[in-house]
Chains A and B, each alone.
Chain A
Amino acid sequence: MEFFVTTDPEYPARDAVVVDAVNGDHAAMDALWREHRRWIAAVLLAHKSAEDHVEDLLQDVAMTFVSKINTLRDTRHVRAWLRTVAVNVARAAARSRRARPRLAPLSVDPPAADHIGADTVAVDDEARRLMTLAARLPEAYREPLLLRAVHGMRGRQIAEIMNLAEATVETRIARGRRMLRDLARTGEFDDAAVREHYESTA
């Protein structure tokens, strides 16, 4: 079945891939998945529960991507759509984990409680400490900060993903950096200032 989709005149080549993916072209779907999977992992890092693993969640996102991409009607929103899928997957996994009693067979060790970012390659202590502190930031600031840290992610792309104005994204990143710096130095940040700022930019 052919779907009629709206495309962005500024990005005809990129949109052609999305249109092909929406119409079920496996190679286009694969290209799209490879292009976006890294930042999707960053979104999952921002929204997952401490016990869930990015790798597992990413596989769920990939499943939903393949089975639901044909429901995308506007190719300009492919990033925002993928983010919504990722956020839903992370939240559903957290809800499911809360509802499920923790049982494990005697012969299998229960999964260790990990922290944001603890399930991957070793990096230096300072980097890991900042990653751990980032878990304490409000989601609205943590997510753009994580996305900015992913190689090559520009303000416009983050704005597209989060469906926000680019200026709002840049402000949240600047504010998030300040909060992270305060956390690193004093172990806390000014909650009241954050709330006030968030309400003015939400």
Chain B
Amino acid sequence: MNQLHDDILISQAIDGNATTAEWDELTARAEADPTIWRTLAATLREHGAFSRAVNADVAVADSIEMPAPGIALAAHPATASRLREWSGWAIAAVLTIAWVGGVNNLVKTRPATPGTDSAHPLTNRAGFVNGATAAELLQAYLDKGRQEDFVIAEVPERVLIETRPAGTGRGYELLYLRQILERTVVPDLYEFYSQDEAGRPTLVRYDGNRGPSM
């Protein structure tokens, strides 16, 4: 009789799958070798502890709902996963964009005055771009923002989201975030304080006397 056979008998007994014949065999084996009872007890205890850990870890599955089919088709799993890693930061970024969006709209809709917007080398009188590259336009935005005191600087570090082989077969395609530090003045500020009974975030007016928010 080998060790593997004993292990299988013990395993069957622990899982409640042992037949009468298997129990009889296990009992007979244990009478000849009492260490088998100790092994059975130790394995039973470890199975209980291991099961507690596994079930605690897989319990997270109960909170993962199936995505709506449209969303699943639109989002590639790998990209979605990478983006989720930064979701907290990304949500902050979205809020920031929404927040300063109004300021930027004001800048865009401000009437052109001689020597200012309409005179910028990258725009014509109607405000359209004359063959400028995206990099030149971004630089123009940064320059203009600094001039108008709402752009402080572009953060030199870029945040890498994903790396994958390029579609051409040579090199790598990178997905990354670039960050621009901006400033604006708002009449009031609110912060997320807690959640109401429905789990929705509640907002409270920020008390400036408590010092800087971050």
Near B by CB (< 8 A), chain A positions 100-141 give 100-101, 103-108, 111, 117, 119-124, 126-128, 130-131, 134
Q: Are B7 and A58 in contact (CB under 8 A)?
A: no
Q: Are B46 and A180 in contact (CB under 8 A)?
A: yes
Q: Are A117 and B164 in contact (CB under 8 A)?
A: no
B26 within 8 A of A: no
A149 within 8 A of B: yes
Within 8 Å CB of A178, what residues of B? 3-4, 7
Q: In whole angstroms, what is the CA distance A91 to B159 when docked?
A: 24
Q: Are B11 and A30 in contact (CB under 8 A)?
A: no
B61 within 8 A of A: yes
Q: Are B60 and A117 in contact (CB under 8 A)?
A: no
A5 within 8 A of B: no
Near A by CB (< 8 A), chain B positions 48-89 give 49-69, 71-73, 75, 77-78, 80-82, 84-86, 88-89
Q: Are B53 and A128 in contact (CB under 8 A)?
A: yes
Interface size counted on chain A using CB atoms at 8 A:
72
Q: How far is the CB of A180 from chain B (nearest CB, A)?
A: 6
Q: How far is the CB of B28 from chain A (nearest CB, A)?
A: 18
Q: In whole angstroms, what is the CA distance A146 to B72 when docked?
A: 28
Q: Nearest CB to that of B45 among chain A residues?
A: A126
Count A/B pairs, Cβ under 8 Å: 190
Q: Are A54 and B77 in contact (CB under 8 A)?
A: no
Q: In whole angstroms, what is the CA distance A130 to B57 when docked?
A: 13
Q: Nearest CB to that of B48 among chain A residues?
A: A127
Interface centre among A59, A101, A145, A146 (most CB of B within 10 A): A59
Within 8 Å CB of A54, what residues of B? 57-58, 60-61
Q: A96-B164, A117-B54, A131-B54 are in contact. Are A58 and B60 (CB under 8 A)?
A: yes
Q: Are B64 and A67 in contact (CB under 8 A)?
A: no
Q: Are B81 and A127 in contact (CB under 8 A)?
A: no
Within 8 Å CB of A87, what residues of B? none
Q: Nearest CB to that of A102 among chain B residues?
A: B160
Q: Are B77 and A64 in contact (CB under 8 A)?
A: yes
Q: Are A29 and B66 in contact (CB under 8 A)?
A: yes
Q: In whole angstroms, what is the CA distance A16 to B56 when docked?
A: 31
Within 8 Å CB of B66, what residues of A? 29-30, 33-34, 62, 65-66
Contact of A134 among B15, B17, B50, B77 (CB under 8 A): B50
**A-B contacts besides A170-B11, A180-B50, 16 pairs, CB < 8 Å:** A29-B66, A41-B61, A45-B58, A54-B58, A58-B60, A63-B72, A63-B75, A92-B78, A96-B164, A103-B159, A108-B86, A126-B49, A131-B57, A149-B53, A155-B15, A178-B7
8 contacts between A and B (CB under 8 A): A37-B61, A42-B58, A60-B81, A103-B157, A127-B50, A130-B49, A131-B54, A184-B46
